[in-house]
Structure 1
Amino acid sequence: MNRARVVVVGSTNMDLVAKAPALPKPGETVLGGEFATIPGGKGANQAIAATRAGGATRLLGAIGSDAFGVTLKARIDAAGVDTGLLRVRYGASGVALITVDADGENTIVVTPGANATFTDLTGPERAALAEADVMIAQLEIPVETVTEAAVAARAAGTRTVLNAAPARALPAELLDAVDLLVVNETEAAAIGGERRPEPLLASVPRVVLTLGPEGAWYADRDGTSVRVPGVRVETVDSTAAGDAFTGALAVAWAEGREIVEAVGWACAAGAACARKLGASTSLPTRAEIDELSRGPGRAS
């Protein structure tokens, strides 16, 4: 089987991750425990996730000229992602400050850095979109760039997947170019006004609403509405579980799997990711996803 060709348009950040017994309240200082510096950003995470899930993946985005940028590129390269078109801009790379509590819940503050400079697609970047089976994008880069990429991909016949995170209202031009929208309940409410997938079908033809450990809810304009159960695991850190889900979903869909089956496989990817600490370091391999997908532990 030929590998699915995936292009990810998105952010690249250095994640500074601290574990603590509880998330701090406003004005509160909490004594933490384990600390790690881990390459992340939703774009980089989803590119690595898609690669480990079996895709041949290229990343379009921007890193800074600082030490974080050097480390980011080296780690993304080592994961097998094609970074030949990744831009380097003078100044700081994007940074995410992440706190993870004892239950695996987290808070995240992202400073964009070089990601904010990723504007106006080049000819080679447009060509990469046209050569792909599927494009994945998120919202940690300028929304104008996401829109431009989605419109270009749609025009070239490339399937478009938008993970609408972080939550915000979206321009109609972008939604018109999306084939599959992936959102959590907060993001669904920000776009469609409800924590359900059906209202979003007025804007896009297919929606996956992620439900954490409970799995996902798929709906489309053909009348399909299916709850796909999750996989029960002991959660260590949920930071990149959504990115693992989206990367695996895009690969499975590009491989020609029936969409509800692809969503189920993606649920296993998200669960496998949540068993480990960190973002890019926790993203599962195809073998790990297959094993968890076949095994016991599906939520009822």
Structure 2
Amino acid sequence: MVIQISKETCPRPFLKWAGGKGRLIQQYIPYFPKNYKTYYEPFLGGGAVFFYLQPTAAALTDINAELVTTYRCVRDNVEDLIWLLKEHQDKHSKDYYYNVRDNPGSTDLEKAARLIYLNKTCFNGLYRVNSQGKFNVPLGRYDNPNICPEDLLRADSVALSQTQIQHEDFIKVLNYATSSDDFVFFDPPYHPISETSYFTAYSPNSFNKKDQERLRDTCAELANRGVKVMICNSDCEFIRKIYIDINFEVHRIKAARTINSNTKNRGMIYELLITSFKDFYLPKQ
């Protein structure tokens, strides 16, 4: 089947995602490696970097099983998914939202349509689960949410058509990325810089300090193989130290923080972009 998409529609994230990198891409561009063949993204989330780069070969993974199922359905069954989303769009109301939130669905397509529907209608597009792994974000305040962006979903389906999409822990990338032909982009849960930084639980198990160190060790092993590695994280002493200790390059990126329990703490902040390589496009000073 040939998917018909609008010429004006470019691939970009079909989900709103806390910490999504869409607004930071322009600052990232100078630091992307000049040459690579296969792209890996072990913390897929909204996939902004993947959709921007549109690599010819890619392996995308995430520990969130619902998210992985959704990406696979966009890749493999986009027209059926659009049909289900249109149903959600027609029935959308406060009562309908909470009914859908409480019923996860039985088929992969139902689960994917549910996740996209909740993402488009919940508060701030936030993905958060409780200790039982159940989605618990309340309804957002939207007059006319775009629950079924048909052209975007079709464009993303084409972009994803040649990708591998797996439900895996980030460390599994060590099984695949082996040489300088590989580029791995890590966008992990950020290390907290304050008591209120943990605004969401992405999965029932939080990403703690030991996990950050496990990620650092994974990056070090990849770099030892010659793999090109890029990581983003919060700008704090702990993160700086663990990567400077393994001789990675640390760069500051200005970002807008839009989600915080205290509205006074929203606004412009700095984040870190960390690379294992120096052959990027940034002009010499």
What TM-score do you get using the length of structure 2 for normalisation? 0.36
Higher strand share: 1
- Structure 1-normalised TM-score? 0.35
Which structure has the bigger radius of gyration? 2
